[in-house]
């Protein structure tokens, strides 16, 4: 209590001394004007002096309060009862908040633990061994195990996986006890780089082409999987060039101590096709089947193709199978047979065909047609019941039905064929599923001609159209008009100048259609006004490249 009273007295005396020092003029300057401040002064000067003194006093008070704030805080901590002493009314002071140190802040924010955990030692050092190409800092920057952190085996395993993903061949970890914790050691085994890439035995194909095919170059990491993949690519490339018996071997690049890649190539003979034969074909002749395949004897044997390509032979098998199934032979099977002569250079290729039964159309049904009757639709179809199934005729019927609906304004009608096999025998039931959609009339026709003057000759385009605004949309007339525009020779044919003339029908916005069907009784949607008969209007956009520049005489002869 006595110490608190003494400090309060000293602070008060110091404050009053500073105030008096600011108000008392310095010695040696006290004269007549000082003894009588208002002498020889006007009322305005006296008023200005009074305001200055007030501002000075206010400034002194603020400075004194700021200077006494630390002293008052110290007194509050020394006094158990606050500024009023033991029985003061200040109440018990709040305890001072202690800021946590750096380690505690890291732990509270979810960072790693600093300090010993539950039977977990600290990492006192991290060492890297075995690195030659990669620096120690490069390895340390890619691991999460750090000095002065708690040792965590799971973090160490994650570090190993991360280092392996960076291109290292292997990583081993060790721990060594030390004073205050453990030392974690990472022993890295670097993957050697390709110092050289050599091909032995290649005569028909240059090293440059083989380098491009294998995908390996000097300076890459030496990976035995990449070396094996390069060997396979080289072999496939040789086979595609007609070397069916080529053998490629890896002479260097599979061992851990290798520093380069060496391929040994045994090209063998260049194989050519001497003859192609078909066995088992009855519905189609050999000449017809030869038009379906790519593997054929070359012209005058050595000229123009004729090389053996196993990849193309497999593609030919698929094409022949598809050809037979399009004719109704859904169980047809095709397999190739290869026979080389004594020299191993010439190949006799045979395609053995098992045609199987041919399927007939047992029934024909059109589903979903409301605009046209079944009789009207059936009269347009090529497929007939009782006849053999033909894929070409079925696809033609789908196009015919789309054109039939498209000619009456149903330009978005969808037709899908659904052949179903019968369990009674080689027969199918064919269904045409129709979704008619809405009917449309031609709305606004917009012509967009690119070039310097895009709006000067729209009539050139409009005169070649066989439809106008208000007509029922006819998809066939639209295609014919587009064909006439392309054949008019009025537009640039250079692809750099733009695409050929196109007539684009802008489909309706489904969202607008839904909103309009909910808001308006007619079911019209925004941007497409219905006519009196309820048919929707749809816009048509015609895009064309710039017009050709013609001379005066060309225009006369053209007219």
346-361 confidence digits (pLDDT tens): 889 999 999 999 999 9
Residue 334 in contact with residue 351, Cβ under 8 Å? yes
Between these two residues, 97 and 215, which has the higher pLDDT value?
215
What's the rounded Cα separation, in Å, for the pair 269 and 173? 53
Q: Could you tell me the pLDDT band of residue 526, with boundaries at 50, 70 and 90?
A: very low
- pLDDT at 336 > cutoff 90: yes
Of the given ranges (68-77, 361-370, 477-486), which has the lowest mean pLDDT?
A: 68-77
pLDDT digits (tens, 9 = 90+) for 484-517: 888 887 777 676 767 788 888 876 664 354 445 4
Sequence-separated (6 or more) residues with CB below 8 Å from residue 184:
123, 125, 126, 127, 145, 151, 156, 173, 174, 175
Q: Is 113 left (phi over 0), alpha (psi -120 to 50) or beta?
A: beta
Q: Could you tell me the pLDDT band of residue 101, with boundaries at 50, 70 and 90?
A: low
pLDDT digits (tens, 9 = 90+) for 446-457: 888 876 555 556
- As a whole number, mean pLDDT of residues 225-254 equals 91
What's the rounded Cα separation, in Å, for the pair 526 and 124? 74
Helices within 31-146 (DSSP H only): 32-35, 43-78, 102-108, 136-140
pTM for the model stands at 0.55
Between these two residues, 13 and 122, which has the higher pLDDT value?
122
- As a whole number, mean pLDDT of residues 522-543 equals 62
- pLDDT at 293 > cutoff 70: yes
- pLDDT at 549 > cutoff 80: no
- As a whole number, mean pLDDT of residues 138-149 equals 91
Share of the chain above pLDDT 70, in %: 69
pLDDT score for 343: 86
Query: What rounded mean pLDDT belongs to the chain?
Result: 78
- pLDDT at 251 > cutoff 70: yes
Burial of 526 (0-12, 13-18, 19+ CB in 10 A): middle
Q: SS3 for 539?
A: strand
pLDDT score for 103: 47
pLDDT score for 115: 47
255 HSE (CA, 13 A, CB side): 6
How far apart, in Å, are the Cα atoms of 212 and each of 202, 208, 216, 450, 550? 14, 6, 8, 43, 49
- pLDDT at 208 > cutoff 70: yes
Q: How far is CA 299 from the centre of its chain?
A: 47
Between these two residues, 63 and 207, which has the higher pLDDT value?
207
Segment holding 15, helix H or strand E: helix 2-23
Token pair for 226: 């990449």
The C-alpha angle 526, 531, 534, rounded to 5 degrees, equals 85
What's the rounded Cα separation, in Å, for the pair 316 and 527? 52
The DSSP symbol for 280 reads S
pLDDT score for 510: 43
Q: Beta-carbon neighbour count of residue 454 at 10 Å?
A: 14
pLDDT score for 104: 52
The DSSP symbol for 546 reads P
What's the rounded Cα separation, in Å, for the pair 325 and 328? 5
Residues in the chain: 559
pLDDT score for 86: 44
pLDDT digits (tens, 9 = 90+) for 22-41: 454 444 444 444 445 444 55
Q: Domains, the chain, ranges and CATH?
A: 1-24+40-90 (no CATH), 114-189 (3.10.20.310), 197-266 (3.10.20.310), 272-354 (3.10.20.310), 360-435 (3.10.20.310), 440-558 (3.10.20.310)
pLDDT digits (tens, 9 = 90+) for 388-397: 999 999 999 9
Between these two residues, 487 and 64, which has the higher pLDDT value?
487
What's the rounded Cα separation, in Å, for the pair 330 and 356? 8
- pLDDT at 528 > cutoff 90: no
- As a whole number, mean pLDDT of residues 277-296 equals 93
- As a whole number, mean pLDDT of residues 328-345 equals 91
Which of 4, 171, 14 has its CA nearest to residue 72?
4
- As a whole number, mean pLDDT of residues 129-134 equals 84
Q: Could you tell me the pLDDT band of residue 459, with boundaries at 50, 70 and 90?
A: confident
pLDDT score for 81: 45
- As a whole number, mean pLDDT of residues 216-243 equals 90
Q: Beta-carbon neighbour count of residue 203 at 10 Å?
A: 7
């Amino acid at each position: 209590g006595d110490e608190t009273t003494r400090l309060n007295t000293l602070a008060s005396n110091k404050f009053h001394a500073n105030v008096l020092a600011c108000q008392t003029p310095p010695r040696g300057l006290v004269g007549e004007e000082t003894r009588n401040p208002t002498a020889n002064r006007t009322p305005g000067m006296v008023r200005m002096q009074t305001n200055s003194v007030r501002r000075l006093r206010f400034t002194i008070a603020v400075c004194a309060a700021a200077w006494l704030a630390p002293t008052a805080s110290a007194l509050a901590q020394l006094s158990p009862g606050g500024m009023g002493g033991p029985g003061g009314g200040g109440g018990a002071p709040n305890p001072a908040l202690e800021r946590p140190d750096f380690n505690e802040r890291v732990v509270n924010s979810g960072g790693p633990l600093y300090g010993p955990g539950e039977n977990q030692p600290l990492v006192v050092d991290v060492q890297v061994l075995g690195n030659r190409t990669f620096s120690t800092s490069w390895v340390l920057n890619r691991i999460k195990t750090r000095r002065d952190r708690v040792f965590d085996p799971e973090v160490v395993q994650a570090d190993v996986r991360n280092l392996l993903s960076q291109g290292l061949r292997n990583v081993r970890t060790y721990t060594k006890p030390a004073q205050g914790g453990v030392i974690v050691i990472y022993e890295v085994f670097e993957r050697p780089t390709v110092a050289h890439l050599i091909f032995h035995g290649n005569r028909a194909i240059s090293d440059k082409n083989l380098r491009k095919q294998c995908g390996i170059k000097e300076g890459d990491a030496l990976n035995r999987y990449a070396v094996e993949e390069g060997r396979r690519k080289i072999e496939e490339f040789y086979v595609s060039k007609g070397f069916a018996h080529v053998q490629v071997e890896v002479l260097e690049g599979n061992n851990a101590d290798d520093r380069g890649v060496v391929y040994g190539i045994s090209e063998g003979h260049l194989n050519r096709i001497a003859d192609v034969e078909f066995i088992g074909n009855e519905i189609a002749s050999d000449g017809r089947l030869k038009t379906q395949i790519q593997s054929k004897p070359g012209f005058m044997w050595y000229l123009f193709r004729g090389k053996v390509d196993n990849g193309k032979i497999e593609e030919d098998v698929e094409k022949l199978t598809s050809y037979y199934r399009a004719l109704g032979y859904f169980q047809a099977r095709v397999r190739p047979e290869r026979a080389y002569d004594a020299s191993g250079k010439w190949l006799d290729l045979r395609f053995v065909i098992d045609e199987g039964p041919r399927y007939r159309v047992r029934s024909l049904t059109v589903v979903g047609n409301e605009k046209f009757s079944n009789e009207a639709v059936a009269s347009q179809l090529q497929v007939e019941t009782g006849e053999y199934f033909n894929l070409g005729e079925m696809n033609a019927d789908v196009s015919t039905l789309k054109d039939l609906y498209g000619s009456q304004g149903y330009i978005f009608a969808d037709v899908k064929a659904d052949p179903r096999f019968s369990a009674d025998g080689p027969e199918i039931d064919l269904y045409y599923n129709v979704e008619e959609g809405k009917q449309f009339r031609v709305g606004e026709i917009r012509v967009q001609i690119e070039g310097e003057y895009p709006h000067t000759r729209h009539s050139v385009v409009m005169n070649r159209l066989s439809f106008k605004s208000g007509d029922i949309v006819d998809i066939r007339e639209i295609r014919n008009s587009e064909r006439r525009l392309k054949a008019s020779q009025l537009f640039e044919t250079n692809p750099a100048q733009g695409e050929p003339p196109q007539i684009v029908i802008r489909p309706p916005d489904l969202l607008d259609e839904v909103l309009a069907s909910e808001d308006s009784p007619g079911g019209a949607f925004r941007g497409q006004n219905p006519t009196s008969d309820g048919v929707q209007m749809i816009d048509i956009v015609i895009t064309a490249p710039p017009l050709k520049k013609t001379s005066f005489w060309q225009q006369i002869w053209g007219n």
